[in-house]
């Protein structure tokens, strides 16, 4: 997952190159990509593309998109100037809008507490049971058809934080779900070893299970005042910095308020920051 540039070949060829060229990864002959450590600008956008929006995406280092709305050709146009494209995958929730998954799930793919499904009204989705082999296979099919077949550079695993949020008080269930998500990540990484992996939230899961496998971890609602006045948040920053150094992943932060101060806090910690609207359906 981590990339290494072989300097010896360039030295043997006596080619004078800059440090920036050393850092470039060529993901294909036509599309010079970037290393995670080269990312400065990125955007999250989950609605359908237009030619104008594709041109705007081409000017960024990275975009995170909902691949159901894109053709392979549109994704390749975004990548023409080196933009890294991540395809979105809702791992821990079953969306009612996503017919390709919802129509194929069975009762064992949902997580139950006291015999009841856990419903999220804001997102019109249900908590999934990632330990279900059937559900994992459905997600693998989504990765094949929407991520791999459309040739995105990476996969953005959303809602991993639900594992921590929903199960932290139930150690046995927490361990089961964390082990399952790690097994799932390993399985698709073996199939698609060149696919970059980004995880949204789930810092406990990251620390104890998934850190060796991810290239990015995202922290949404990274707001200066709420973070600097909260000991838990300060502890998470310290922990992420230690894991970042150990496992060589990058930290993506997103703020919806206090843009300048939040960006300064992110910059001080070497994070890659985005200040944006909370509505990812708007550019």
User: Is 32 contained in some domain?
Assistant: yes
Report helix angle 133-142 to 171-191, nearest 10: 40
**Domain of residue 156, CATH code:** 3.20.20.70
**What is the rounded distance in angstroms from the CA atom of residue 262 to the CA atom of residue 265?**
5
Task: Give the CA count within 13 Å in the CB-facing half-sphere of 97.
Answer: 8
Cβ atoms 250, 244 nearer than 8 A: yes
Q: How many domains does the chain have?
A: 1
- Is 101 part of a structural domain of the chain? yes
Q: Is residue 17 part of a domain?
A: no
pLDDT score, position 10: 39
Q: Given a cut of 80, is residue 18 above it in pLDDT?
A: no
Residue 97 lies in a domain: yes
Condensed to tens digits (0 to 9), the pLDDT of residues 116-135 reads 999 999 999 999 999 999 99
Q: Is residue 198 assigned to a domain?
A: yes
Residue 6 lies in a domain: no
pLDDT at 6 over 60: no
Report pTM.
0.88
Q: Tell me which residue of 29, 45, 40, 21 sits closest to 79, measured CA to CA.
A: 29
The pLDDT-based confidence of 14 (bands split at 50, 70, 90) is: very low
Residue 128 structural domain: 28-275
Model confidence over 168-198: pLDDT tens digits? 999 999 999 999 999 999 999 999 999 999 9
In a domain, 211, yes or no: yes
Whether pLDDT at 67 is above 50: yes
Average pLDDT of every residue of the chain: 91
Domain assignment present for residue 16? The answer is no
């Amino acid at each position: 997952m981590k990339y290494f540039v072989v300097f010896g070949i360039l030295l043997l060829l006596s080619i004078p190159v800059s440090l920036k060229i050393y850092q470039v990864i060529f993901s294909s002959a036509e599309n010079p990509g970037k290393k995670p450590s080269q990312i400065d600008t990125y955007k999250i956008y989950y609605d359908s593309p237009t030619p104008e929006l594709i041109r705007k995406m081409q000017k960024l280092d990275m975009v995170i998109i909902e691949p159901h709305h894109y053709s392979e050709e549109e994704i390749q146009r975004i990548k023409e100037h080196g933009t890294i494209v991540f395809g979105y995958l809702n791992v821990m929730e079953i969306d009612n809008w996503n017919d390709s998954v919802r129509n194929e799930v069975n009762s064992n793919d949902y997580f139950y507490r006291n015999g009841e499904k856990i419903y999220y009204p804001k997102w019109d989705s249900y908590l999934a049971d990632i330990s279900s082999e059937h559900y994992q296979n459905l997600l693998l099919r989504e990765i094949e058809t929407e991520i791999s077949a459309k040739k995105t550079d990476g996969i953005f695993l959303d809602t991993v934080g639900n594992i921590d949020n929903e199960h932290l008080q139930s150690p046995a269930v927490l361990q089961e779900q964390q082990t399952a998500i790690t097994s799932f990540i390993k399985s698709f990484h073996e199939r698609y070893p060149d696919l970059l992996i980004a995880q949204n939230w789930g810092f406990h899961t990251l620390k104890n299970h998934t850190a060796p496998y991810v290239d990015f971890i995202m922290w949404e609602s990274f707001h200066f005042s709420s973070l600097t006045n909260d000991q838990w948040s300060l502890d998470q920053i310290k922990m992420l910095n230690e894991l970042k150094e150990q496992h060589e992943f990058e930290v993506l932060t997103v703020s919806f308020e206090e843009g300048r101060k939040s960006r300064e806090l992110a910059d001080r910690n070497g994070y890659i920051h985005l200040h944006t609207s909370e509505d990812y359906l708007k550019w």
